Amino acid sequence: MLFNSHLFLLVFLPLAVALYRLIPNRDAVRVWYLVAVSLVFYGYWDVSFVPLLVVSVLGNWGLSKLYQASGRRLLPATGIALNLCSLAYFKYAAFLVANLNLALNTSFAVDKVLLPLGISFFTFHNIMYLADLYRGRAPIYRLRDYALYIVFFPQIVAGPLVRHWELIPQIPKNPWGPDTAERLGRGLTLLIIGLVKKVLIADALAPLVNATFAAAAQHYVPGLGDAWAAVLGFTFQIYFDFSGYSDMAIGIALMFGFALPFNFDAPYRSLSLRDFWRRWHMTLSRLLRDYLYIPFGGNRHGLPRQILALLGTMLLGGLWHGAAWTFVIWGGLHGIGLAAGVLWRRYLAPMPAVLSGPLTFAFVVFAWVFFRSGSIGQAATMFSALAGAGGVHGARHLVSILIAALIAFLGPTSQDVALKRLRPVRWSAAAAALVLCLILLKLGDDTNYEFVYFQF
Amino acid sequence: MTNWPGYCRLLLIVTALAVLALYAAVLAIDPYDTGRFAFIHRAGVPLYGQRMADASRGRDPQFDSAVIGNSTIQLLDPARLDTALGGRFVNLTIPGTGPYEQLLVLGWFLRHHPGKVGTVIIGLDGNWCDHPRVFGPAGESYPFPAWLYAEEPWPYLDHMFSYKSLEAGIRRLGALAGRDPAARADGYNDYEAGKIYDPNAARTRMVNGGVGNDPAEDAAPGAAPPTDGARPEFAALAAALLSLPDSVYVALVFPPREAGSVPAPGSDAAALVAACKQKASTLAEAHANLRVIDFLNDGPISRPENFWDNIHYRGAIARRIEDAITQAKPAH
């Protein structure tokens, strides 16, 4: 079920928290309870994906136990390969076969495979653990602890991509200590902030963005104003959608006593692309850095190797988002941009912030056109529209874009508000309550959008 | 208060109170005048579209007879029907709907007028015949509020806690206070009003199909395969009519089309139309006072000068249909 639904907010979450309080306060009971709750949450979407998830947990944990018994590093390596194969089958089979057919002029058919929700995320959790195991940096966990790491419902569908040594050591912490009320208050407030970002900001931008990009997909060249509004609209939509989702996930986890890593830190205020990737989808960035960029050579083997490592990392990072060339191009563009930044920093004087900030933002915005487009042709149509090929018409929805821009550029981050600045005073509790009530009203309307990141 | 337990308590209590108060207020205002849980018992709603307004009209006790269908039967005038057929007519037609939506509205009207229905007129257009739709929500060409017309209250209760319902409730209060105009009670919506007929413009619309005017286009979003012979909508119609006593006059009308949109003899579409008319005749066997009024032919009425586009006829034709329905009425 969606975080932004009556069912989740009015039934599932209150019940899950209340029962969590009522069950015996022992590690084993708490962990198995959270695993069960998470499977209910996940299974509500499509119960037929639950067996795959359970097999994934048992298989990967079983490999770790076999590794413990035998000490053979082939085991985690095989596990990584198997996880990649499952991801390849579910996510990339159709793409691979279609491109193979195109290249070899063949006509292999492949059945359309339904993408299990969150597979990109839970597969990466498994792979991160096995990679650490391979490098001798991970302990062997209890089954229940490992299961919770993989299926914990706040993060199973779209992250944050948490590392096993961040989550599992928190399990023995008593969730009902003296700081419980503060944790619940701050967690709930962060959840409400995330809902505001998703329901009031991102969803308000969705109709314009969807309509204009859909028109471009039909080879209709949108007018100049609409094209810019759609591209800027998507820039803010994806930020508020995904960071709002991340806030909700972190807030909900906090209500159950777990601190998840932050995922966003005002990314559109970045002064360089390197800076952007330290503030955007931060948990994916550090994963790409630790498990691709550094193994590829990182910055310790000379400039050419570093640039190749950057390009390779970002191309794969792009492909991770989906089986399409537009994602590869998006990743490739960011790889090239990051490499250009490396060269600039090495050979040229630092760029003043008044230039580098807008330049970084413009680069990110143009790259989003590929990310949002279903095909290269659609992206090309959007670029021609941005240049005025569809005629110079005015734009709509400028006010929502302006509000979103002001918050993204000037506003504090949600974690700063909810976890640091928030004081337990009457007016803030009442304000949060009224905002929550407004959100619940909005969620009663028929137009609730799924999270953009659920498709990846 | 400066402590976290107090913060959590206040947040939850204010949320719960605000939610309950707003929910109770919306239910009591009854934004769409459905009569469920209402504290306000004055009939009528603001100027909503037919989809939202017909729940109020469909349960209005001043009416005992109804016209059901879409824009292809919309021009039948309730006031004229009152005089011609007796009784009090309400026009419950909703543009862009197919059998699924129309039968929901019919069911709503019948449930709210038990034992006192006089006449029911149902337009069976292309969506019932040669341009069938999926019989269900998937067949809707525009989102239809099935929850508003549902027999059980749960879907309605689920939709009432929403921003749209709150807005509608505020609008209804405005209309009841006389600040906003109210929707017309008998539902008559004359699409010719304020327009001057231009034969050339009409012909252009016919040639081009006109957006939303071509029956095929109208049905496109939820179109079912035309070879599908099952047609559950006729079974559902038969079931709905079963609840009516034989004394009720039921007129099933096949509205006219411009000649270019009448299926050519021997075509697949013609076969579908023939099968559809056959099904309507079968219904007539089960109901003593059911009559089929068939204007779907290539004849003088299907001449282009009688139409605004392929399927929307002019007022004079609507009068002919009203007359035909009147003449076909059984003697008792």
What pLDDT digit, counting tens, does each position of A384-428 carry?
999 988 888 777 778 999 999 999 999 999 999 999 999 999 999
Q: Are the C-beta atoms of residues B139 and B97 closer than 8 Å to each other?
A: no
Segment-wise mean pLDDT, segments of 10 residues, chain B, 332 residues: 88 96 94 88 86 94 96 95 96 94 96 94 94 88 90 90 93 89 92 89 73 41 51 91 91 94 90 92 90 94 92 95 95 73
Q: Where are the beta strands (DSSP E) in B191-241?
A: none
Of residues A164, A321, A334, A397, which has the active-site annotation? A321
CB contact under 8 A, B18 and A445: no
Instruction: Check if A444 contacts B (Cβ < 8 Å).
Output: yes
**Average pLDDT score over residue span A38-59:** 94
CA dihedral A313, A275, A243, A184 (to 10 degrees): 110
For the ranges A2-6, A327-331, B125-129, B217-221, the lowest mean pLDDT is seen at B217-221
Percent of chain A's residues with pLDDT above 70: 97
Is residue A68 scored above 60 in pLDDT?
A: yes
Tally A–B CB contacts below 8 A: 81
Beta bridge partners of B223: B133
CB contact under 8 A, B11 and A188: yes
Backbone angles phi, psi at A177, to 5 degrees: -90, -165
CB contact under 8 A, B163 and A442: yes
DSSP tag of B64: -
Q: How far is B16 from chain A (nearest CA, A)?
A: 8
pLDDT, one tens digit per residue, over B96-153 is 999 999 999 999 999 999 999 999 999 999 999 988 889 988 888 888 999 999 998 9
pLDDT score recorded for residue B303: 92
Cα–Cα distance measured from residue B263 to residue B270, given in angstroms and rounded to the nearest whole number = 5
Is residue A14 scored above 90 in pLDDT?
A: yes
Q: Crossing angle, helix A325-347 and helix A353-372, to 10 degrees?
A: 160
**N-terminal to C-terminal alpha carbon distance within chain B:** 77
CB contact under 8 A, B7 and A181: yes
pLDDT score recorded for residue B218: 43
Active site residue A6: no
Q: Tokens for A288?
A: 């790409």
Instruction: Check if B24 contacts A (Cβ < 8 Å).
Output: no
Closest-CA residue in chain B for A192? Answer: B11
Mutate to test the interface with A, among B14, B19, B142, B157 (most CBs of A within 10 A): B14
Beta bridge partners of A285: none
Instruction: Check if A11 contacts B (Cβ < 8 Å).
Output: no
Of B5, B22, B162, the CB nearest to A437: B22
Starting at the edge strand found earlier in the chain, the sheet holding B65-68 runs B89-91, B65-68, B119-123, B249-254, B290-294
Residue among B226, B230, B313 at smallest CA distance from B267? B226
pLDDT score recorded for residue A422: 94
Is residue A21 scored above 90 in pLDDT?
A: yes
Q: Are the C-beta atoms of residues A424 and B1 closer than 8 Å to each other?
A: yes
Q: How far is B11 from chain A (nearest CA, A)?
A: 5
pLDDT score recorded for residue B219: 42
Instruction: Check if B137 contacts A (Cβ < 8 Å).
Output: no
Cα–Cα distance measured from residue B220 to residue B215, given in angstroms and rounded to the nearest whole number = 9
Instruction: Check if B154 contacts A (Cβ < 8 Å).
Output: no
Output the furthest CA–CA distance in chain B (Å, rounded). 83
Contact list in A for residue B165 (CB cut-off 8 A) is 444
Q: How far is B21 from chain A (nearest CA, A)?
A: 11
Amino acid code (one letter) for B36: R
Mutate to test the interface with A, among B1, B3, B9, B11 (most CBs of A within 10 A): B11
CB contact under 8 A, A424 and B161: no
H/E segment holding residue B292: strand B290-294
pLDDT score recorded for residue B217: 40
H/E segment holding residue A226: helix A224-255
Instruction: Check if B7 contacts A (Cβ < 8 Å).
Output: yes
H/E segment holding residue A228: helix A224-255
Is residue A339 scored above 50 in pLDDT?
A: yes
**Average pLDDT score over residue span A58-62:** 96
Q: Are the C-beta atoms of residues A309 and A297 closer than 8 Å to each other?
A: yes
Instruction: Check if B161 contacts A (Cβ < 8 Å).
Output: yes
pLDDT score recorded for residue B286: 85
Instruction: Check if A423 contacts B (Cβ < 8 Å).
Output: yes
Of A182, A428, A441, the CB nearest to B161: A441
Backbone angles phi, psi at A72, to 5 degrees: -90, 120
Instruction: Check if A424 contacts B (Cβ < 8 Å).
Output: yes
pLDDT score recorded for residue A449: 57
Mutate to test the interface with B, among A434, A441, A447 (most CBs of B within 10 A): A441
Q: How many angstroms separate the Cα of A385 from the Cα of each of A326, A371, A389, A395, A437?
A: 18, 17, 5, 12, 40
**Average pLDDT score over residue span A135-158:** 95
Output the furthest CA–CA distance in chain A (Å, rounded). 69
CB contact under 8 A, A184 and B8: yes
| More confident of the two residues A452 and A190 | A190
CB contact under 8 A, B163 and A444: yes
Q: How far is B6 from chain A (nearest CA, A)?
A: 8
- Confidence band (pLDDT; 50, 70, 90) for A373? very high
pLDDT score recorded for residue A232: 96
Closest-CA residue in chain A for B13? Answer: A433
Closest-CA residue in chain A for B23? Answer: A441
CB contact under 8 A, A440 and B4: no
Closest-CA residue in chain A for B21? Answer: A437
pLDDT, one tens digit per residue, over A79-129 is 999 999 998 888 888 888 888 888 888 888 777 777 788 898 999 999 999
